[in-house]
């Protein structure tokens, strides 16, 4: 599954980056294979999404999130807003 498909509140682990053009940009922002990510919230129309990664919040467009292959660790964990 890719990050753009993950539900709000889910905790996922990054497996790989599938778009070579975006990979460097995503890695510079902390999206590294093995990193755990929480899907914090999504904009009203679904784009962008907001994630918690490497100790900070990050906004990603859906096409960027679609380039991140993840596995689910926890579905719908409670998040303080």
Q: Where are the domains of the chain?
A: 3-74
Q: pTM for the whole thing? A: 0.85
79-32-1 Cα angle (round to 5) = 65
Neighbours of 57 (CB within 10 A): 11
7-61 confidence digits (pLDDT tens): 999 999 999 999 888 899 999 999 999 999 999 999 988 899 999 998 899 999 9
- Look at the domain 3-74 and name its fold: SH3 type barrels. (2.30.30)
């Amino acid at each position: 599954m890719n990050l753009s498909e993950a539900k709000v509140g889910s905790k996922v682990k990054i497996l790989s980056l599938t778009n070579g053009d975006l990979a460097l940009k995503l890695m510079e922002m902390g999206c590294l294979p093995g990193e755990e990510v929480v899907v914090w919230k999504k904009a009203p129309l679904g784009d962008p999404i907001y994630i918690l990664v490497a100790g900070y919040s990050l906004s990603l467009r859906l096409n960027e999130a679609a380039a991140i292959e993840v596995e689910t660790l926890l579905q719908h964990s409670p998040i303080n807003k």
